[in-house]
């Protein structure tokens, strides 16, 4: 999905590439999204213009949140945990639990995004977000250094039974 949006192939999605991707998604749903400067239409009342702007901003927020979740959740730890659990347990129960957990986490993070900027100025929320990101990143790196160089207990039965084939590249 990232490669489809990154039309220049430079590894960065800039504003123009994002707008183009947004227009493709909007066209797929049959919604017209105007990009760039909007000319005011004097035939519309201010209420109609506000309603139309609200629809466009909702579509932008919706598509950007779906794209962000897809980009960050595929290959995440929870992705692999759900895959391993569904190998051992009822797939419908695991799917239901994973969806419920995603819904709960989405509600919690949306509420934080709604409440925190009202309590703290925007610059501090960005600073707190950056500090938390660094903290959890460093913590993850430190945890990975203390891990043993062997297959985890959760995956070992699947490796022995041949359900998962583990092929590691040779080390230099």
Query: What is the structure's pLDDT at 100?
Result: 93
Give the residue ranges of the chain where pLDDT is below 50: 35-42, 172
CB 23 within 8 A of CB 35: yes
Average pLDDT, the chain: 75
Q: In this predicted structure, what is the pLDDT of residue 11?
A: 74
Give the helix, strand, coil percentages of the chain, each rounded to 5. Answer: 70, 0, 30
Distance from C-alpha of 116 to C-alpha of 137, rounded to nearest angstrom: 22
With vertex at residue 132, the alpha carbon angle to CA 125 and CA 12, rounded to the nearest 5 degrees, is 80
pTM: 0.45
Backbone angles phi, psi at 102, to 5 degrees: -65, -40
Per-residue pLDDT tens digits for 29-50: 667 665 444 444 445 555 555 5
Residues 56/34, Cβ–Cβ less than 8 Å: yes
| Separation of alpha carbons 19 and 39, rounded Å | 18
Note the pLDDT tens digit of each residue in 127-145: 888 999 999 999 989 888 8
> Could you tell me how many residues make up the chain?
172
Q: Please report the pLDDT score of residue 37 as a whole number.
A: 43
Q: Residue 82 has what DSSP assignment?
A: H
């Amino acid at each position: 999905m990232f490669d489809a949006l990154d039309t220049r192939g430079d590894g960065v999605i800039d504003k123009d590439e994002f707008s183009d991707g947004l227009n493709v998604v909007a066209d797929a749903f049959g919604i017209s999204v105007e990009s760039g400067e909007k000319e005011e239409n004097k035939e519309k009342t201010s209420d109609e213009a506000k309603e139309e702007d609200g629809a466009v901003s909702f579509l932008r927020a919706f598509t950007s949140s779906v794209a962000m979740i897809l980009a960050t959740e595929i290959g995440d730890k929870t992705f692999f945990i759900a895959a391993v659990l569904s190998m051992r347990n009822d797939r419908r129960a695991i799917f239901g639990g994973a969806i419920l957990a995603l819904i709960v986490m989405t509600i919690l993070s949306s509420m934080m995004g709604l409440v925190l900027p009202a309590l703290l100025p925007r610059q501090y929320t960005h600073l707190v977000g950056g500090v938390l990101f660094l903290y959890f990143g460093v913590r993850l790196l430190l945890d990975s250094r203390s891990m043993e160089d062997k297959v985890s207990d959760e995956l070992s039965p699947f490796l022995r039974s041949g359900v998962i084939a583990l092929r590691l590249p040779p080390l230099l």
